[in-house]
C-alpha cells in the first residue's frame, strides 16, 4: 500500500495548492461545486484506510484547513450560497 499512500498524498497536496490559489468567492464556488459531494468522500475514505499514518492525516488536515480559511472572503454564509456552511459542517464531521 505504499504506492496508494504516495498517490493519495500527491492528490491532497495538489488539491491544497488549487484551493490556496482560489482568491475569489466565484472561483471557490466553482471548485466546491465540483468537489462536493462527489469527490469529498475521498477524504473520509482515505482517513479510514490510513488513520494510523500521521503523514497522510497531516496532509488531509492541511487541505481542510485551507478549505475553511476564509482568506479574501471566498466563503459566503448567506441564504443563497450555503457552500461556506457545508465546508464547516463536513470539516467538523471529519475532525470529530
Domain ranges of the chain: 2-13+24-95
84 Cβ neighbours under 8 A, 6+ residues apart: 70, 75, 76, 77
* Whole-Å CA distances, 79 to 23, 30, 31, 75, 76: 21, 17, 19, 12, 9
Specify the pTM: 0.84
Give 40-82 pLDDT, tens digit per residue: 999 999 999 999 999 999 999 999 999 888 877 777 666 666 7
Amino acid at each position: 500500500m505504499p504506492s496508494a499512500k504516495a498517490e493519495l498524498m500527491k492528490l491532497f497536496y495538489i488539491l491544497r495548492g488549487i484551493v490556496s490559489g482560489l482568491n475569489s468567492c466565484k472561483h471557490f464556488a466553482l471548485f466546491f461545486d465540483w468537489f462536493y459531494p462527489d469527490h469529498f468522500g475521498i477524504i473520509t475514505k482515505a482517513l479510514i484506510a490510513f488513520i494510523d499514518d500521521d503523514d497522510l492525516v497531516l496532509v488531509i488536515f492541511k487541505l481542510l484547513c485551507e478549505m475553511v480559511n476564509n482568506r479574501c472572503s471566498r466563503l459566503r454564509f448567506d441564504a443563497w450560497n450555503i457552500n461556506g456552511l457545508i465546508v464547516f459542517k463536513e470539516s467538523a464531521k471529519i475532525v470529530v
